[in-house]
Amino acid sequence: MKNRYFSIALILILALGLTSAFAKTRSITCSGSTTVLPIAQATAEAFMDKHPDVNISIRGGGSGVGVAALQNGTVQIANSSRPMKSKEISQAKSKGINPTPYAIALDGIAIVVHDSNPVKNLSIAQIRDIYTGKIKNWKEVGGPNLPIVAISRDVASGTFEVFNEKALSGSKVTASAQLLASNNAVASAVGSTPGGIGYIGLGYLTGQIKVVSANGVTPSVKTVQEGSYPLSRKLYMYTNGKAKGDVNSYIAFIQSEEGQKIVEAQGFIALK
């Protein structure tokens, strides 16, 4: 009889141990914008510290990748550094997906050059002419006699979409431009190229690159929040319909005072 009770007790102990080991089964899946990525990663870590039974999986790939994943129902959250296009929303709805946006931060697309470049300001018209290939040398905009190396994001990028709309007015980027897949890649390329120019989210600024003002306005908390910086934007998380359960709790955490402090710690700008 004692052996029987011992066996039952052992089974209960093992069962409790297995339950504990597999308790963290609630999950949230996100993918998309590399601009939003550091915000998502940092806030996810803080959220999981508070909710150890929730696991948040985050991937980059670009806003277009995240939007496509949401359309296909393979993620719960699409991270996007731009608003979804009407065509994307229509495609999603045709698959039974109802994209719902949640603004989580503000950002300014920073125009950056090599730290040695003396140019301090470019007009939006000059930026457009550089990226469309009309201006090819820095001396044409008050800089040194040095060929310009235009460095751009690829077409899957939400940052590219916003830059194309706000700076290029939809004009085609010159075929000589380097097209890179992430903010980090652009920052690294500009930092190692004396004639380089690129554009990145504020959270990716480094000591090897210098911010150039656009139309005489430098991206800052004030100029982005009030919208006077011409390349200001919101950063989003999209869900299928109104966010519920753990997804809603996670997004609400990002939008909270504590979450917005994490946004700022990542180099971005709080919603207010």
pLDDT digits (tens, 9 = 90+) for 184-235: 999 999 999 999 999 999 999 998 899 999 999 999 999 999 999 999 999 9
CATH number of the 2-106+235-265 domain: 3.40.190.10
Q: Which residues in the chain are classed under CATH 3.40.190.10?
A: 2-106+235-265, 110-218
| Per-residue pLDDT at 101 | 98
CATH of 110-218, one of 3.10.105.10, 3.40.190.10, 3.90.1150.10, 3.40.50.170: 3.40.190.10
Do residues 131 and 196 make contact, with C-beta atoms less than 8 angstroms apart? no
| Per-residue pLDDT at 42 | 98
Question: Full-prediction pTM beyond 0.75?
Answer: yes
Q: Which residues of the chain fall short of a pLDDT of 50?
A: 1-24
| Per-residue pLDDT at 23 | 46
CA distance 163 to 142: 23
Supply φ then ψ for residue 100, to 5 degrees: -125, 120
The amino acid present at 82, given as its one-letter code, is R
Which pair of tokens denotes residue 130? 């550089």
CA distance 27 to 29: 7
| Per-residue pLDDT at 15 | 44
| Per-residue pLDDT at 156 | 87
